[in-house]
Structure 1
Amino acid sequence: MLTIKRVSLDIPRGRRILAVSDIHGHVHFLKKVLERAGFCKDDELIIDGDIIEKGPYSLETLRYVMELDKKPNVHVISGNVDSWQLELIGSCEPERTRALAEFIRTAKKRWGGSLFLDFCEEMGIGHPQSEAETAAAREKVIVHGQAELKFLSELPSIVEAGNFIFVHSGLPERWEEMDGQEATPVLKFDDFRNRSGSFDRCVVAGHWPVCLYRHEVAEFNPFFDRNKNIISIDGGCGLKRDGQLNCLIIPDAEGTMEEVSWTSYGGFPEMTAVDSQQERKARISVQYTDNRVELLPGQSPGAGLVRLRHLTTDTVLVVPEDYLYERDGTLRCDDFCDYHMEVKAGERVELVETGAMGSLIKKNGVSSWYHGRLKPV
């Protein structure tokens, strides 16, 4: 069990702080966004948790972060996924073995891999197919991955630097008195911005994808709550089909939120819009916190499309068929917003996907459906 451990940094005036979170096994995204931010030895880098899982290269990402952490100007914080995998791999309790076996059964299919499976592949062990095989493989993983697991187990959960506090998911009340207590309250504080009070210092948190704080559009840029003094930076990398990895740029630890900027990387190809499109505001935004739907009978809306009713709002909508999935015996819809942004002919956009609904594009961190033609830049 990880306990809350705080680290306080003494950063000279005028020295930049870069902060990223929720890399989720996307080491190539991390390298790209740090390149865009111009990261160098004269900066401080804070990696704000969730290094691994829900992405294709967990072990490679973890080892890259471990190499970065050897530098005196790099500081890594634990995230809930990092802590959770550490517990699953390190525990011999039957329920943990069962949870690990269930997780790795879906991880390869859904995200392309997991830390545990990466270790297995490196050792030449086939993917475990049962709880017994998982338990046997775990004994070998614990030995083989000793350095990596030790690194995860020793990570702090809060880093303080001047006027800024960095924590993976959020700060509960009286957090200053929680040193040495179980770390879950700061590793998994869902919907932190809406459930917290305000802070004297700026709190930088990840964990909760920023698009969940917005309902009119699907936007993945950092969310600045100036009333509460909170910056949320999880751009949905690896979790959302149109997500990105954000890098916050703080010019001075003694500065304010108003001076903070950011850059991002999403890995999507750049395209040029051939046709213009007028803005059409969103009628509905389905998010995973409220995504139960039912199929509606009747005429098909088109090849590759399905007609649904969103159970909570009773809204009828049409979505791509591959947005549907089942969880806990209930039909659900992947994150979907029917917003159409204004696009001018000749503008550059990023192409997320093309399908029966048209093209899902991004511009300035905002996603939109687009029904015009695109051509490569």
Structure 2
Amino acid sequence: MNRSVVVHALPELTDPEAKEIVISDIHGNLAVYQQLLKKCRYRHGVDRLILAGDLVEKGPENLALLRFVMEQVRTGNVWCLMGNCDFTAKNVLFSYRLQFLRSVITSRQSLIMEMAEALGIDPAGMEMDEFCHRIRQAFLPELQFLADLPHVLVSPDRIYAHAAIMDEEHFGSDFREVMTTPFFLHTDKRFSKPVVVGHMPVSEYRNRVIDFSPVFDPARNIWSIDGGNVVKRSGQLNAVIFQGRNVTTVSADDLEQAVVLKDTDPGVQIPFAMSWNHRDISVLDHAGEQSLVHSDWLRRSFWVPDAFVQSGSVSEYTNYRMPAQAGERVSVVLRCQDQVLVKHNSVLGWMEAEALALPESEDNDTEQEPAGM
């Protein structure tokens, strides 16, 4: 298999009113994607839309999302990149790493399994070669669309990749570098032209307050924009909008909403947060519905609700108390006795339940781990 990095050049936007909108890591979440486009006031055929990889996998409507995007590309100024999750299309097309493919599609919500269900076939009872052949016969246009996506897009003003680039001239020697490099913001790479990437949820860069909004590092000239949509329960789908010299960000999620009933001001805080990549803990004690745990990464011990403790790990937990004003709306993430974990302006924090007008339904699930990140 040719492992070179495929690069497409984008023409200059000639309409001064046109926006360049960048979204990454949709992960088959069609409803939230459509919601975000409306919030961006996206004008199909006028604005340039760039989807920076991981269109599919893990979300609820992978096939529907893919077909929606294919129609957008056919009829408008829409450009897509290949993400590591989109690569499953190549696994099927070329019968490549079939045992790995089997493990992936049977362990998560998957585009390929949605295709199989539409055909009424099950990989569990078939040889993978035959399974891939059947999928190719029925869904060749969709698979080919994903397999033909470039790895890097270059406009006169910016460079786009799913996860990273190695340099501004050659971008990388292997497509895996630009699709899977983790923690791009923690590398020593610096660029003269802005580089925009997804892949790594931006919350993984925070260890005090969990914030899902896009991150811009001016010293490195890098935008990291993956808001953890689908892979994190409290995540969101982010868009960064470039228009001339102006840059704005917009987000959308599918969490339930609550109205703040009274002003809350937690005062001075010393917040901390546990990210998925630094989730290991040891349990020291237990009382009621809480556990005393120790994190070597944070170098501290703390009490945490049992809902966050799973198999020697605590993920996406913060002690941050959310300030808010009466009348504002917050997203409800988790209810825990008389406390509610909420998201407000992309930031995660706790509020008293009595300070909120909560929706009727309750959801006590903890956040999902960003599998395959």
Using the size of structure 2 for normalisation, the TM-score is: 0.87
Bigger shift: residues 33-42 or 334-343: 334-343
The 1-side partners of 2:281 and 2:92 are apart by 35
Query: What is aligned with 2:169?
Result: 176
Shift of the 123–228 alpha-carbon distance from structure 1 to 2, 3 Å rule, reads same
Confirm whether residue 212 of structure 1 aligns to residue 204 of structure 2. Answer: yes
Contact 1:361–1:367 under 8 Å retained in 2: yes
Contact 2:206–2:273 under 8 Å retained in 1: no
Deviation at 1:282, TM superposition (A): 4.7
Residue 157 of structure 2 is aligned with which of 160, 163, 172? 163
Contact 2:10–2:154 under 8 Å retained in 1: yes
Query: What is aligned with 1:290?
Result: 278
Confirm whether residue 56 of structure 1 aligns to residue 60 of structure 2. Answer: yes
Confirm whether residue 140 of structure 1 aligns to residue 137 of structure 2. Answer: no
Contact 1:281–1:341 under 8 Å retained in 2: no
Confirm whether residue 20 of structure 1 aligns to residue 1 of structure 2. Answer: no
Confirm whether residue 124 of structure 1 aligns to residue 120 of structure 2. Answer: yes
The 1-side partners of 2:73 and 2:183 are apart by 29
Contact 1:209–1:236 under 8 Å retained in 2: yes
Shift of the 178–205 alpha-carbon distance from structure 1 to 2, 3 Å rule, reads closer
Query: What is aligned with 2:41?
Result: 38
Aligned length: 353
Query: What is aligned with 1:110?
Result: none
Deviation at 1:283, TM superposition (A): 4.0
Contact 1:282–1:340 under 8 Å retained in 2: no
Shift of the 231–346 alpha-carbon distance from structure 1 to 2, 3 Å rule, reads same
The 2-side partners of 1:56 and 1:146 are apart by 21
Query: What is aligned with 1:367?
Result: 348
1:148 is aligned with what amino acid?
E
1:1-377 mapped onto 2 (5 Å cutoff) = 1=1, 3-10=4-11, 11-14=13-16, 15-40=18-43, 41-83=45-87, 85-92=88-95, 96-107=97-108, 113-126=109-122, 128-129=123-124, 132=126, 134-173=128-167, 175-177=168-170, 181-252=173-244, 255=245, 259-279=246-266, 281-297=269-285, 299-300=286-287, 302-303=288-289, 305-326=290-311, 331-356=312-337, 358-373=339-354, 374-375=356-357
The 1-side partners of 2:335 and 2:34 are apart by 27
The 2-side partners of 1:222 and 1:178 are apart by 22
2:325 is aligned with what amino acid?
K
The 2-side partners of 1:135 and 1:318 are apart by 50
Match of 1:260, SS state, is strand
Shift of the 281–55 alpha-carbon distance from structure 1 to 2, 3 Å rule, reads farther
Match of 2:124, SS state, is coil
The 2-side partners of 1:103 and 1:318 are apart by 35
1:101 is aligned with what amino acid?
R
The 1-side partners of 2:227 and 2:306 are apart by 25
Bigger shift: residues 346-355 or 181-190: 346-355
The 1-side partners of 2:111 and 2:103 are apart by 14
The 2-side partners of 1:357 and 1:67 are apart by 47
The 2-side partners of 1:238 and 1:364 are apart by 18
The 2-side partners of 1:376 and 1:287 are apart by 27
Shift of the 227–287 alpha-carbon distance from structure 1 to 2, 3 Å rule, reads same
Deviation at 1:27, TM superposition (A): 0.9
Identical residues among aligned pairs (%): 27
The 2-side partners of 1:196 and 1:215 are apart by 20
Deviation at 1:22, TM superposition (A): 0.4
Contact 1:282–1:337 under 8 Å retained in 2: no
Deviation at 1:44, TM superposition (A): 0.5
Shift of the 372–277 alpha-carbon distance from structure 1 to 2, 3 Å rule, reads farther
Contact 1:320–1:357 under 8 Å retained in 2: no
The 1-side partners of 2:171 and 2:326 are apart by 55
Shift of the 226–145 alpha-carbon distance from structure 1 to 2, 3 Å rule, reads same
2:283 is aligned with what amino acid?
L
CA offsets, 1:82-113, max 9 Å, x none?
12x134334546xx332223223321xxxxx2
Deviation at 1:163, TM superposition (A): 1.4
1:24 is aligned with what amino acid?
H
1:192 is aligned with what amino acid?
F
2:222 is aligned with what amino acid?
I
Match of 1:186, SS state, is helix
